[in-house]
Structure 1
């Protein structure tokens, strides 16, 4: 029987990978063949993504594939973060280098959105939480600052969709990533006519919507020849939003579970069969992000490992050899509950100095006796804060949906941090299952396999995930349960939650 291989390009905010996958005996075998940095860069004072270098890395990955496996490849699919986009001109060329979501051009756009449409109306249509990074905020910034761009633009594609376009010449916006824009009708699963009209966004920017598992097209013949692939390689949309690809690979069984897609951002959520849009979800600012194969991801962003990543950058200036294992070991030895921070405070969104931002937060909340020069103390404060915020969000998801939660699945890169996983079990008071670490690439590859008729359902995909991965289980430590419960109440009081 001919081997069918798929190639996933998984782009994160710091790095990207090319991963080959093939199904054998009900298991997914994966191999990373290329890894590369992705980071954004400043151009003329604005933060941008070098989309052409991303494409160049894809081409490099394709060359590495053919050097090892030859010309036969079943499909290619790309996943990325949400919200960011690129405009295309009428001739199909890129209008400008895409902005990065942390660029400060969206300052002041929250007020524009509320004034133009009303926050409740926007939420009732889209079900998406309000964040200044949202595509709708970016559109408001364009309309305010550079309205001529909207006149020049002929198409709008999200970052992963742009890369699919570069590969195939086909323009399409995949549903899960389009849903992050706050411009899509959550119930109709199509662009919101009302919001486009209210914000003066031209109709030509309503790109065709496709869904995870859809075949977008085939590889451009010239590119295929250049890298040594045959010309029949399919471009198959995974869940282009990396969180949705990761959620596809949650190895869950039954009901009553929640999940965290743990990385630079952490997405804390439950899976539902349709949007949950009500007074409670609006007041708690919870998102209904598109999931794969008919599912809805009822979730909320938590700042995630971004904070510890930025702390590490500061610490590495003094100690270039300091790695995450040593940081975790220092945190283990540090005093528990020395201080409390809300990881989602605006101070931590894009600070120049994250240690200084933590110190400022502690000072403004009256926690002035914390030694922020001690690496272990700061790291432990961050890890404890993340665990407490996970519990806070899970409690609110339960309240808004009426669902019970008895186990938490942690997927993604954060599964490798056993200390944070244990802290999460302690804070939540129930079992945590960690794995797979490569959930996003796993979901990407299995959705490509679904599009190529190798698996037939989400249930079958998750059976493959369970067969292919071992999960690490963390139980709450009963002997410290009282301490964690009291500290959680302190956390809420100090952080005003």
Structure 2
């Protein structure tokens, strides 16, 4: 029996989970959980990469009996390595508002629709392409010194193995990868005047192995643990838990909501661009077609704001009990509005301003804002479902909900009712489980993705709503 260690990194917390198969059962043990916050330095937003790397190093040293390690993270963010192999600065957070100027730089060089056609990615200010253009404009010295751009999971892979690679699923979030050709877009690098040599060797999940004996961290070199590039993008990793069916949508519901389906080829028509849908890659270069929407981020931000005002912690069950009893909100928020994804948002103030500017009324009770956020999320899911159905000429009668939001019975029931679909909710730890599944597959502890998925389902809570 081999044990594997998955690092599943979200925008607010990181988990280390050991997984293995024993007596035909899927087993896991959480060995690390760490909250982390975006750092504000002179008006710019960075991840606390040193703290993240230190915690990962400590966790590996505490679990030297594992045979393989995998890392998945959120998309779009990266670090830059110089020719000597040094990280030039801590990675910026995608919530840094300076990236809006990178988007303006791109517009001056290239029509946005042409950029979309050459990448297939939803046009969002957070995209790697805009981050890179912003860096070139504001931190030209760092840009000039850079030898390789490493996406967040690849940066940690490099730290643990000394190898510079780019895993395909995480690169498919950059806005610089041609999803139709499934390769780096030479045209975009040329037209946007970016250094093509920054791109490392692109590999598929599971194609390569590194080892801690070659780590950049001295303490890990005495170990000999394989490090495998799993699906580096947490969404792609999570969706290994979903059995793709013609009449079923997926919904990965966490800080972000991602709702869509799998398709044979990237969709890059004018209509797809105008609806602001996206294409990304999953296991074995499968194309995912969906939309990124601000998800539970807004609810979590409002919850923290209200807790501070009330001077107490608010259990999620208390929120659920209130929302269950309250009527559906009449005036709704546009979850696509960029203001609702900002790091320093004053949530109640911005929600009130949005409602009043759109002819709505402000909720009278504090907890009614939770109902409003849930209902606004569900309405956006409904809109996206209709857009995807129209573009693909398909009718979706089922939806498989994964991630932390799948724990919410009230949210799942609202989705089933509003979207007129049967909802399957779970597993909840889907990103980590997808990571572990690929590691176990590489270690020959499971025979196939399907076999491993069945074992995980049997060991997980999965609920159905109609």
Normalized against structure 2, the TM-score is what?
0.95
Aligned counterparts of 1:390 and 1:164: Cα–Cα separation in 2: 35
Is 2:397–2:420's contact at 8 Å kept on the other side of the alignment? no
State the partner residue of 2:319.
Answer: 327
Question: Residue 194 in 1 paired to residue 187 in 2?
Answer: yes
Q: 1:228 to 1:90 in 2, by over 3 A?
A: closer
State the partner residue of 1:265.
Answer: 256
Aligned counterparts of 2:93 and 2:240: Cα–Cα separation in 1: 26
Deviation at residue 131 of structure 1 after TM alignment: 0.2
2:74 pairs, out of 77, 81, 99, with 81
1:462 pairs, out of 445, 448, 453, with 453
Q: 1:387 to 1:26 in 2, by over 3 A?
A: farther
Deviates more, 1:300-309 or 1:179-188: 179-188
Deviates more, 1:394-403 or 1:424-433: 394-403
Question: Residue 383 in 1 paired to residue 374 in 2?
Answer: yes
State the partner residue of 2:110.
Answer: 117
State the partner residue of 1:21.
Answer: 19
State the partner residue of 1:161.
Answer: 154
Deviates more, 1:350-359 or 1:463-472: 463-472
**Count of residues in Structure 1 that have an aligned counterpart in Structure 2:** 464
Aligned counterparts of 2:186 and 2:447: Cα–Cα separation in 1: 33
Is 1:273–1:294's contact at 8 Å kept on the other side of the alignment? no
Deviation at residue 335 of structure 1 after TM alignment: 3.4
State the partner residue of 1:452.
Answer: 443
Q: SS of 2:71's equivalent? A: strand
Normalized against structure 1, the TM-score is what?
0.89
Task: Provide the alpha-carbon RMSD of the alignment.
Answer: 1.9
Give deviations 1:251-299, integer Å, cap 9, x for gaps.
x264311111110111111012332222321221111111112311111
Q: SS of 1:339's equivalent? A: coil
Deviates more, 1:186-195 or 1:215-224: 215-224
Deviation at residue 183 of structure 1 after TM alignment: 0.3
Question: Residue 207 in 1 paired to residue 232 in 2?
Answer: no
Q: 1:441 to 1:194 in 2, by over 3 A?
A: same
State the partner residue of 2:338.
Answer: 346
Aligned counterparts of 2:453 and 2:263: Cα–Cα separation in 1: 16
State the partner residue of 2:428.
Answer: 437
Is 2:160–2:217's contact at 8 Å kept on the other side of the alignment? no
Q: SS of 2:435's equivalent? A: helix
Q: 1:225 to 1:371 in 2, by over 3 A?
A: closer
Deviation at residue 228 of structure 1 after TM alignment: 9.7
Deviates more, 1:390-399 or 1:434-443: 390-399
State the partner residue of 1:480.
Answer: none
Question: Residue 367 in 1 paired to residue 365 in 2?
Answer: no
Is 1:215–1:234's contact at 8 Å kept on the other side of the alignment? no
Q: SS of 2:174's equivalent? A: coil
Q: SS of 1:375's equivalent? A: coil
Deviates more, 1:217-226 or 1:292-301: 217-226
Q: For 1:27-106, what aligned pairs fall within 5 Å after superposition?
A: 27-65=25-63, 71-106=64-99
Aligned counterparts of 2:395 and 2:454: Cα–Cα separation in 1: 23
2:308 pairs, out of 304, 308, 317, with 317
Aligned counterparts of 1:323 and 1:92: Cα–Cα separation in 2: 46
Deviates more, 1:458-467 or 1:117-126: 458-467
2:241 pairs, out of 236, 249, 256, with 249
Is 1:431–1:473's contact at 8 Å kept on the other side of the alignment? yes
Q: 1:451 to 1:403 in 2, by over 3 A?
A: farther
Q: 1:142 to 1:287 in 2, by over 3 A?
A: same
Q: SS of 2:285's equivalent? A: coil
Question: Residue 423 in 1 paired to residue 414 in 2?
Answer: yes
Aligned counterparts of 1:227 and 1:389: Cα–Cα separation in 2: 46
Give deviations 1:110-136, integer Å, cap 9, x for gaps.
333233121222111210000000001
State the partner residue of 1:180.
Answer: 173
Aligned counterparts of 1:223 and 1:62: Cα–Cα separation in 2: 14
Q: 1:185 to 1:254 in 2, by over 3 A?
A: closer
Q: 1:189 to 1:452 in 2, by over 3 A?
A: farther
Give deviations 1:310-346, integer Å, cap 9, x for gaps.
1011101123222222122222233322431112212
Is 2:213–2:220's contact at 8 Å kept on the other side of the alignment? no
Is 1:338–1:377's contact at 8 Å kept on the other side of the alignment? no
Deviation at residue 23 of structure 1 after TM alignment: 2.3
Question: Residue 293 in 1 paired to residue 275 in 2?
Answer: no
Is 1:5–1:75's contact at 8 Å kept on the other side of the alignment? yes
Unaligned regions of 5+ residues in structure 1, if any?
66-70, 476-497
Q: SS of 2:80's equivalent? A: strand
Give deviations 1:33-85, integer Å, cap 9, x for gaps.
110012211112211011111111112222332xxxxx432210111000000
Aligned counterparts of 1:157 and 1:149: Cα–Cα separation in 2: 14
Q: 1:450 to 1:110 in 2, by over 3 A?
A: same
Aligned counterparts of 1:188 and 1:171: Cα–Cα separation in 2: 23
